[in-house]
Homo-oligomer: A and B are copies of this chain.
Amino acid sequence: MASQLSLAEVSTHKDAKSCWVIIKNKVYDVTEFLQKHPGGPNIILKYAGRDATSAYEPIHPPDAIQQYLSPSQHLGPLRDADIRDLEVHEKQRERTKEEIRVAEARKQRPPLNRILNLADIEAVARKVLPHGALSFFSAGAEDELTLRENARAFERFFFHARVMRPVSKCDSSTKILGFDSSLPVFVSGASTAKLGHPLGELNITRGCGTANIIQMVCTYASIPRAEIAAAALPSQTLFFQLYKSTDLSVATKLVQDAERLGFKAIFLTVDAIVITTRERDVRSPWVLEAQEGKSQYYSEGDSDGATNLLGTSSLHVNRNNVLDADMSWQVTIPWLRSITKLPIILKGIQCVEDAVLAADIGVEGILLSNHGGRQLEYSLPPLEVLYKLRQQRPDVFSKLEVYIDGGIRRGTDVIKALCLGAKAVGLGRPFLYALSAYGEVGVSKLISILEREIVTSMRLLGAARISDLTPELIERVDWEPVSRMSKL
């Protein structure tokens, strides 16, 4: 289409007046796009006139740039000689301390048969993940109090184990929105997976396919949804997590594409209409700098740190200008019904009142969630909301399916949620850690651990099938156990 361009020419377009970047050996004019970039213009300007592939690739699907740029902004391929130069340069480049550390850590990974639980997987991932990716995956909002309390909530619930009940045959399978699942567990909110592994979300898709676990795929998946759908087994169920943008046509296309690709439900994200400050993530590039011994490149006197310093190393993505902060029960649900026949689930319900509204308006399900403690600090732990719902409005459970996510790390956590009425539970970060640490087999391992833990605990509870898990088997205690997390 276009003639080849030289590095020399590209390098003259290096500021906001005329800004070209190279991504995977193709040259793009992003001058106009600067102000539309969800992550803000600064992060692009850092690469103006240069190759931006290494910054672009881990956090965007390959086709993202096509979506946003007009054909005329596709300037054409880089010259072959210059491509070779870039390759040589990349090869000869001295590895950073961080790259060396990560490579070494990957060599030291324990064999998979020494992994006993999800905390073990996380521990490996924390060692092998690049600093910035770990910050992005693990961060919670502000002081991360909600992040911690999500998990600690499970420690307040104890079992009334029943004995002398035949459980040699114990069936942990269930149905979610009518779809078979080998466990009452699904993958929730695990996106940007390429940060942890080159195959990104595909590791989840493949691991879940074998184990018959449902994966919810995010609007912001780092692998194109079509590719994920193609990697799924014929019998495999995928759900779609929708971030509704302010642009209705974009949102409509997303939903209809998902339906066309065979996704089986729409999880509408309602708890992330603006993105809160995940301070761990914002700080991560600075910390890395210090580790690498680089000098500070942020100028003193800049009066607003939290927004414009989300520089290149930061994965803290600010999508506040594209997310629809004006969704409403009256408008958004009818619109969504009008464009899809898929069941609708609201992801991010955080109180009993909204659970009741959701039941009244007739959606097929709600996911009690505070976005894994990444959004509103002091949002109640989902398990506590579930408990309140059970206490105050048990009728809701018969009107729609209720799920929760946030802080689930053990088979007993899953069982507790089910005892209180959840149909299934979602896990996010554990899948990201699993694929980061071991790729697809890590995902398989994670599922097999959960299965062992769920089945063993069901038996010891006297439960031979999922429907045996009832509120009578569980109690919220009035003391504070010594946290299991303090041990890990």
Contact = CB atoms under 8 A, between A and B. Distances in A.
Interface of A: 111-117, 142-145, 148-149, 152, 155-168, 270-271, 273-274, 276-277, 279, 282-283, 286, 296, 298-306, 308-309, 324-329, 332-333, 346, 348-354, 357, 370, 375-380, 384, 410, 412, 416, 441, 444-445, 448-449, 452-453, 456-457, 459-461, 472, 475, 477-484, 487-488
A16 B93 CA distance: 53
A113 B159 contact: no
Nearest 9 pairs of A and B residues by beta carbon: A160-B351, A113-B305, A143-B484, A113-B302, A376-B460, A168-B325, A111-B300, A166-B326, A163-B270
A1 B209 CA distance: 58
One complex includes copies of this chain to the number of 4
Contacts of A456: 274, 276-277
28 contacts: A112-B301, A113-B300, A115-B305, A116-B277, A116-B282, A116-B305, A116-B306, A142-B412, A144-B487, A145-B484, A159-B376, A160-B350, A160-B380, A161-B376, A162-B350, A164-B332, A167-B325, A168-B326, A274-B456, A276-B456, A276-B457, A277-B453, A303-B445, A377-B412, A377-B457, A378-B412, A378-B416, A479-B480
Contacts of A142: 117, 410, 412, 453, 484
A160 B282 contact: no
Contacts of A143: 410, 484, 487-488
A484 B271 CA distance: 22
Contacts of A159: 350, 376, 378-380
A370 B160 CA distance: 11
A25 to B, nearest CB: 34
Contact of A380 (B158, B162, B441): B158
Contacts of A480: 479-480
A286 B113 CA distance: 11
A241 to B, nearest CB: 15
A375 B460 contact: yes
A362 to B, nearest CB: 14
A195 to B, nearest CB: 22
Contact of A111 (B164, B283, B296, B444): B296
A378 to B, nearest CB: 5
A413 to B, nearest CB: 9
Contacts of A276: 456-457, 460
Nearest to A445: B303
